[in-house]
Amino acid sequence: MRPMTVQDFPATEQWSQQYPSGPRSVPRARRELRKMLERWGHGAEDIDRVLLVSSELATNAVRHGRQRDCRFEVRVTTTGTDCLIEVSDASSVRLPRAVTAASDDESGRGLVLVAALTKDMGHHLRDPIGKTVWARLELHTPEGGSHD
């Protein structure tokens, strides 16, 4: 996974929100992001893919990046043709890595799924603490045909 920052990604639209680092925050983030993507006029297929990728990354932040009394942040930036999803947490100890899950494992496929749905993904450390895991995916034309 290579580093990328939002400065490398010229924004048309941007949304971010911080959440308590607990499992109930992931569905809340998904609901709030869905509303924003619909407001921006993106089609259902794009919304579903963005929500799936952001949910996987947020779930990993809660499971593997959780630090006492710290929040995680979800940031989504679009250019009209691409979408950058960034999820930041307070842990710089547990860096993301794909694992090979057995057929009967109930978890362990998230990063493999993210890689299959995106053009590129990576992570970078944050100053003074934590890390950001990001994924970039291609968007189709919004339902309305423009972002106006």
Q: What is the CATH number of the domain that holds 134?
A: 3.30.565.10
Q: Which domain holds residue 41?
A: 6-138
- The answer to whether the beta carbons of residues 54 and 26 sit under 8 Å apart is no
Number of domains in the chain: 1
Res. 137: pLDDT tops 80: yes
**64 falls in which pLDDT band (50, 70, 90)?**
confident
Stronger pLDDT, 126 or 51, i.e. the higher one = 51
CB-side neighbour CA atoms (13 Å) of 33: 33
Residue the block writes with tokens 């947020």: 58
Whether residue 40 is contained in a domain is answered as yes
Residue 94 within a domain: yes
Residue 97 lies inside a defined structural domain of this protein: yes
**Average pLDDT of the chain to the nearest whole number:** 82
Kindly state whether residue 103 falls inside one of the protein's structural domains. Answer: yes
pLDDT value at position 92? 75
Tens digit of pLDDT for each residue in 9-40? 667 899 999 999 988 999 999 999 999 999 99
pLDDT at 78 over 80: yes
Handedness of CA 126, 58, 26, 91 (dihedral sign): negative
